[in-house]
């Protein structure tokens, strides 16, 4: 191969690699959005009103504190119409601003305990007491992709 042919082929290869690198360097078609936590709940027979009372009480208070602290964006309770066998009756959805470190989660936990005049042991026991009202049948965590 002549030197000119080699030089031309090298330049062509360099130009193609620069083009493909710049194509890879383009921005993505999305940006990461908020983080959602979905909990699937089966309510035990005769316990629906009692469980919704809990949701309207402490569960709401906890999420309102999360909003005040800037961690929770929104929270929702969805009922599943015509749930089939082994499907949840309710879906609890909490939208978080972002993922949080252990330190941030523990700091919020301390504020929740203070607000509820409780501690981790009492809150764990209370969760066990709600077992007569409901069964947690699954959790799912998703992150929204905001399309550009």
Q: Are 144 and 27 in contact (CB under 8 A)?
A: no
Q: What is the pLDDT of residue 86?
A: 87
Q: What is the pLDDT of residue 7?
A: 46
**120 — phi, psi (to 5°)?**
-60, -40
Q: What is the pLDDT of residue 17?
A: 52
Instruction: Quick: pLDDT tens for 69-110.
Output: 999 999 999 999 988 888 999 999 999 999 999 999 999 999
Q: What is the pLDDT of residue 23?
A: 53
Residue 5: pLDDT over 50: yes
Instruction: Quick: pLDDT tens for 7-56.
Output: 455 444 555 555 454 555 688 999 999 999 999 999 999 999 999 999 99
Quickly state the pLDDT bin for 3 (edges 50, 70, 90).
very low
Q: Are 33 and 146 in contact (CB under 8 A)?
A: yes
């Amino acid at each position: 191969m002549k030197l000119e042919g080699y030089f031309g082929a090298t330049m062509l290869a360099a130009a193609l690699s620069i083009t493909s690198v710049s194509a890879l360097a383009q921005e993505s078609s999305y940006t990461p959005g908020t983080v959602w936590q979905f909990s699937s709940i089966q309510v035990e027979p005769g316990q629906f009103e009692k469980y919704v009372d809990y949701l309207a009480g402490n569960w709401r208070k906890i999420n309102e504190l999360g909003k005040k602290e800037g961690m929770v964006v929104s929270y929702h309770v969805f009922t599943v119409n015509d749930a089939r066998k082994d499907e949840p009756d309710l879906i609890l959805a909490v939208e978080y601003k972002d993922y949080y470190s252990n330190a941030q989660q523990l700091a919020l936990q301390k504020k929740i305990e203070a607000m509820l005049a409780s501690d981790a042991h009492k809150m764990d026991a209370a969760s066990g007491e709600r077992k007569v009202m409901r069964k947690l049948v699954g959790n799912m965590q998703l992150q929204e992709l905001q399309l550009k």
